[in-house]
Chain A
Amino acid sequence: MLLAKYTLLYSVVLMLVALGGAFTEHSGVINIALEGTMTIGGLVGVIALVVLPPGTPTVTIIIVSVLAAGIAGILYTSLLAFASVNLKADQTIGGTALNLLATALAVVIVRRFNAGTQSAKLTYNNEPFLIDIGGLTVSVFLFIGVTLLIFAIIVMYKTRFGLRLRACGEHPHAADSVGVNVSKMRWWGVLISGFLGGIGGFAYIVPAVQTWNFEVGVAGMGFLALAVMIFGQWKPGRIFFAAMFFAVFKSMANIADSTFLAALEWPKEIYNMMPFIASMVILAFTSKKSRAPKAEGIPYDKSGR
């Protein structure tokens, strides 16, 4: 079932990135730069993949490239963390800047990589990541994703770290007054989203196809992940279901040619539009009851007691 394959694929991506976003926002920082983080993380992961010598054991390939993607994500979002936490910059604008930079950077780097041609595309072998389970092709990211999800739930709600993190996003002055280092916590929150976002970007690019044109970045997936996060009300469990839901819409574009949808003879672009339209419809209906972390988006300043 192609629909199932793509749905699983996209839901893992959306879930990972949305989880990252949730960590950041729970600490009090808005992270619009998820799109850019995914692009950079995906880029570095793919480069690692391409650069690893043939004959490397599969497990090594997976570990090295995934970690590379995650670390790249961490490094990239540290720019956002620095601007938002230390310089108290406007987080929406900082995030937008990073998105724009990411695509431009990615294209420049890829062109450099493909020295000589003007191509912004990279080709790679994605076999190590695909596993066949009873006829259904599943990517290894599914397992990575579920593991990280469980981890996230435990960290967020059962650990001291998670409690303090959430306090920073709800009432940073209260956290400060009991000795929690709000700046440090927010850095953590942002970097976690860098890690998850980077891996998410890699998980988006690699399993589905063997060539990727970096001019499009990640084609809006980062923003869809934001919608998933909001729809999931910043809670990991709900994000999981929200991701599944949105992933169905996203998958329709991929299967349009080959299934019952082909009979409808809708132009392909309609399917591309669907996840975005679905997001808007859902947001329209749920916005009234939405409850974001109270202090998100507001840089923390001690003297504003």
Chain B
Amino acid sequence: MKKKNGSPFIGGDALASIGASFISIIIGLVFGFLFLFLLSLINSGGESFSTIISNAWKYGFKQILMGGFYLPPISIGQEIAAAAPLILTGLSVGFAFKTGLFNIGAAGQYTLGAFGALFFAIVLKLPWWACLIGATLFGAFWGAIPGIFKAYLNIHEVITSIMFNWIGLYAVNTIMYGGGAGVMYDSSKTKVWDLRSLFPASVIPNLGLTTFFKNRSTTIAIFLAIIIAIIIYIIIDKTTFGYELKATGYNKSAARYAGISEKKNIVLSMVIAGALAGFGAGLYYLSGIAEWKPLDSTALPAIGFNGIAVALLASSNPIGTIFSALFISHITTGGSLMNSQYFPPEIADIISGIIIYLCAFSLLFKQLLMKRSSQKRSAELVESTLKEPPHIDSLVPETDIPESGMAAGEEDDD
């Protein structure tokens, strides 16, 4: 009597989705402030209550709320620069969601993309646009792996992706480090060769944005990211390929019935998701200020996981992803600007994590919102969706038995 659905994080009633996202954001921020308040409390040495609150505000929360606008124009530039790759990882996760897949491997694909970008720049000495292509290809390759495991061996993509996240990280570090003598490695600075000074042609052009924002990290990357988002939107909504992907995500069995090749679409979807993440890494690592330290990179790039928050907030809508990425970048930039004496920048990660947690039951918020409005019928729709609840495939394959006649989900209330 199993009832399964494709992923619900694919929109639905647009207004209610946005509303639900806002609720998640606001609750997340509230918790963030409470955290800061707590830390401020712990820090305090008998100061008055109002001082504690104002400390939490002055040294922490204000920065988070203002984000890049705290120290314009430099920090605005930083915010925009940080948003660009985040848009891409958000697109990566969101695109996979459309096909009913959870791409938790964006971090690993991002890592491989970084490697691709740097390899093409340093070793092959190619111009920036070729390096971007290199990054994309490496990301696509790493994305294909969980896709293939899922399509042909029926192993859940979450497990495969996580395993390969770590495999990718270790592999990339090893190759880059090369035992201290790696071709890409500058042992005097214990990091990868600096692009800006040595390989300027590989750095993404900035068309004057650098001077405008008075910092070196802002390039045309943001425009490239927006263009990609629009392209993805067109693919998903306007093409037959998008139709097939969504069909597979909503209802695998019906997609098969319709003659859609499920396996091909799963692999293709993951390849594209990986490509997007790889491209994002290219945007970041070819911007001239980013550096990779093989010996220090013991953790997976957080941007891969923030992409999950971005995708969920946007309900996997590509255009919405642009805005949710800007938002997450906003609070992350703000986090880095907090007074680090008092507050560690990880606070932004905590807010991000809380938002993801809240998004997990965003359907509930949606339903509450719709019940209040006059859209009662849609609310019932959502409620009936709640009964066949939001769900991405269970971790382990079910035997693919087409269920016979006494199937569930049919009877109108008897």
Contacts and interface: CB of A to CB of B under 8 A. Distances in A.
Q: Do chains A and B touch in the complex (CB under 8 A)?
A: yes
B388 A280 contact: no
A238 interface: no
A79 interface: yes
Interface string A233-265: 000000000000000000000000000000000
A142 interface: no
A52 interface: no
Contacts of B2: 294-295, 298
Given A118-B340, A269-B170, A97 B3 contact: no
Contacts of B170: 269-270, 272-273
A284 interface: yes
Contacts of B3: 298, 304
Nearest to A32: B158
Interface in B1-32: 1-4
B312 A93 contact: yes
B301 interface: no
A297 B395 contact: yes
A137 interface: no
Interface stretch (A54-62, A103-111, A198-206): A103-111
B313 to A, nearest CB: 12
B112 interface: no
Contacts of B217: none
Interface stretch (A43-51, A65-73, A149-157, A285-293): A285-293
B364 to A, nearest CB: 6
Nearest to B162: A223
Interface stretch (A2-10, A83-91, A125-133, A183-191): A83-91
Given A83-B361, A295-B2, A111 B353 contact: no
A100 B356 contact: yes
B123 interface: no
A226 B396 CA distance: 11
B133 to A, nearest CB: 27
The dominant DSSP class at the B interface is helix
A89 B360 contact: yes
B163 interface: yes
B283 interface: no
A216 B344 CA distance: 16
A179 B164 CA distance: 44
Interface residues of A, number: 62
A239 to B, nearest CB: 14
B407 interface: no
A88 B389 contact: yes
B299 A288 contact: no
B167 interface: yes
B98 to A, nearest CB: 15
**Most chain B Cβ neighbours within 10 Å, of A97, A217, A227, A270:** A97
B159 interface: yes
Nearest to B5: A298
Interface stretch (B49-57, B147-155, B263-271): B147-155
A95 to B, nearest CB: 9
A136 interface: no
Interface in B170-212: 170-171, 173-174, 177, 179
A240 B360 CA distance: 33
B390 interface: yes
Interface in A22-47: 25, 30, 32
B166 interface: yes
A159 B407 CA distance: 33
Contacts of A277: 163, 167
A280 B163 contact: yes
Contacts of A267: 174, 177, 179
Contacts of B349: 100, 103-104
Contact of B390 (A90, A276, A279): A90
Contacts of B126: none
Contacts of B95: none
Given A87-B364, A226-B395, A227-B159, A273 B166 contact: yes
A228 to B, nearest CB: 12
Contacts of A297: 391, 393-395
A140 interface: no
Nearest to A87: B361
**Most chain A Cβ neighbours within 10 Å, of B174, B361, B391:** B361
Interface of A: 25, 30, 32, 79, 83, 87-90, 92-94, 96-98, 100-101, 103-105, 107-108, 111-112, 118, 171, 173, 213, 215-217, 219-220, 223, 226-227, 230, 267, 269-270, 272-273, 276-277, 279-280, 283-284, 287-288, 290-292, 294-299, 301, 303-304
Given A30-B394, A227-B159, A298-B391, 14 more contacts: A83-B360, A96-B305, A98-B357, A100-B353, A104-B350, A108-B347, A112-B42, A230-B396, A283-B159, A283-B160, A288-B153, A292-B396, A292-B398, A298-B394
Give 3 closest A-B pairs by Cβ, nearest first. Answer: A101-B353, A97-B357, A89-B361
